[in-house]
Amino acid sequence: MKILVTGATGYIGAHICKALKEKGHWILATDYNDNQNDISMWCDEYINFDIRTISGKYHNVDKVVHVAAKTKVGPSVDEPWDYYDTNVNGTKKIIEAFPCWHFIYCSTGSAFNPGSNAYAATKWGGELITQQFYDKYSLVRFYNVSGNNGFYKFDDEISHLIRKAARVANSMGNDHPFMPLFGTDYDTRDGTCVRNYTHIKDIVDGIVRITEADATNKVECLGSKHGVTVKEVIDTMKKVSGKEFLVMSKERRPGDIPVSTIPLESRFFKETQTLEDMCRDALEYEK
């Protein structure tokens, strides 16, 4: 099939391009940032553009895997309009520019709580647009993706919990002297937020299965229903790294909610990697 992947040079997009190309598909890749990952060997054509400003018709493709988005909760609280422009308006622009018969929209588990912050609201808004414009679509929700295949680099900004913990474990008091713990008084089993954490390999495998299948016309949750707390993630990093690094409690962050976990696993999801695997990958990458 001829498949468009947006956000193709980013962390998740690069893994998707590689996986789909290895399955024999023709890949059209797009992104505005050429300095993230070199995907030249995993795409047949590359177009550089910003999804917020494109206009007109481009290629007709069989399927679109729309990954490009702004994805950080904190900045979405401070700069909500930027998130609406990218995640809602940008999705509309992609739909108009690339006609297809199956649109796969990569969303977030946070869309179950669209009122919690602008990131969640705008990804939910992108889902609504997808449903209104297409008879055949698949909405793919996941969150807190980690792990690595040893080749593609993570986002340059270290905002992911596992990545932060790996950086602190490797630094051990030098450049990153402590691990911040934002909020310890939530109504959870240890007072810290509960989330799902899923390995990039399992996420991408699920997306490939969805892309190669017919449209589901519903939400597909890629991730285990089992949630872990922030403290449990930090403790796992300590165990895997063998480093007893310093953790300092901080005030709650705006936009965070106590529990955000996947309520139902998609039939396309198969969990093969563990939290320990994700911690090991992040440690190795930070080295």
Residue-wise pLDDT tens digits, 28-43: 999 999 888 999 999 9
Own/partner long-range contacts of 263-267 (Cβ < 8 Å, ≥24 apart)? 263/112, 263/221, 263/225, 264/221, 264/225, 265/221, 265/223, 265/224, 265/225, 266/140, 266/206, 266/210, 266/220, 266/221, 266/222
Q: Name the strand (E) or helix (H) holding 96.
A: helix 90-97
pTM: 0.92
Q: In what order do the strands lie in the sheet with 228-229?
A: 228-229, 194-195, 259-260
Closest C-alpha among 92, 65, 90, 82 to residue 6 = 65
Query: Could you give phi then psi for residue 187, rounded to 5 degrees?
Result: -85, 70
Residue 3 pLDDT:
98
Helix, strand, or coil (residue 243): coil
**pLDDT tier, 209 (very low <50, low <70, confident <90, very high otherwise):** very high
**pLDDT tier, 225 (very low <50, low <70, confident <90, very high otherwise):** confident
234 has a pLDDT exceeding 90: yes
Give the tokens for residue 197.
């954490």
Q: Is the distance from CB of 148 to CB of 14 less than 8 angstroms? A: no
For the chain, which domains are there?
A: 2-145+199-221 (3.40.50.720), 161-194+226-263+272-286 (3.90.25.10)
Residue-wise pLDDT tens digits, 88-138: 999 999 999 999 999 999 999 989 999 989 999 999 999 999 999 999 999
